Amino acid sequence: MIERRDWKPEEVLRLTLRVLIGFVLSGLLQSLAMNQNAAGKHSADSWKALVLGQVCFHGTVVAAMVSFLRNQRRSWDQGFGLSAGGSVRAVGMGVLGGMAFLPAAYGLQWGIGTWLKTLGVELPAQTAVGILTEADIWGRSAIFMSAAFGAPWVEELLFRGVAYPFLRDLGWPRLALWGTAIAFGLIHANLSVLVPLTAFGCLLSLLYQHSGNLLTPIAAHVTFNTAPFVLLALDIRLDR
């Protein structure tokens, strides 16, 4: 179980503002560096701009989190329970949880995508997906490292590490669970994955609540984000 964190509201607000500023600035940097031709297709080097934006945002979040913990006078272990229950057990539980959720996630995504198409709703491909399929081996490797390992750490620190216990400790457990899950789904800005990612966000919070160790939802998130790259390597497309 997660112990009370009692995050200071002013520090949570300061962290939120820093993250938002970092998100906007990294997005602008990525847009400026992105190169598209007249047909709207990305160049072979577009992955560099994508990874640059992601690395800048991840670095901003880590720097903001260091300041956040210092001002709270907490270590990383004290803030996120990184030794609670044993790290091996925590990671193993997360990997199993992430793998178990994959069939449900892809089933929901396929079902919602099919339903939206019957309504005449066209779902544009995610920019990152288009860049990934056109990138060379170096580009795919860089995107994989950023998406499968960088993003889970950053997103779990923010959503499960800070937001979830902050709202829960204020006496709003349902808002903590569903609010962070819906926000997690919305930030990915894709209608077909909103429901499965929201459900996944709930699972990640429950895993954290059960283990008390942030390594558990991080491991589940890494497992989940690795799956698309495995499917790409095996040339398996779920939209066929």
| Full-model pTM | 0.90
First to last CA, the chain: 42
Instruction: Give the pLDDT confidence score for residue 35 in this predicted structure.
Output: 62
Q: Which runs of consecutive H residues, i.e. helices, occur in 34-163?
A: 46-72, 76-80, 87-118, 127-134, 137-144, 151-156
CA-CA-CA-CA torsion sign (162, 19, 221, 214): negative
Asked whether 1 and 169 are in contact (CB, 8 A), the reply is no
**Averaged pLDDT, 16-42:** 78
Instruction: Give the pLDDT confidence score for residue 63 in this predicted structure.
Output: 96
Q: Using one digit for the tens of pLDDT, what is the confidence trace for 47-102? A: 888 899 999 999 999 999 999 999 999 999 999 999 988 999 999 999 999 999 99
Return the domain boundaries, the chain: 9-75+86-233
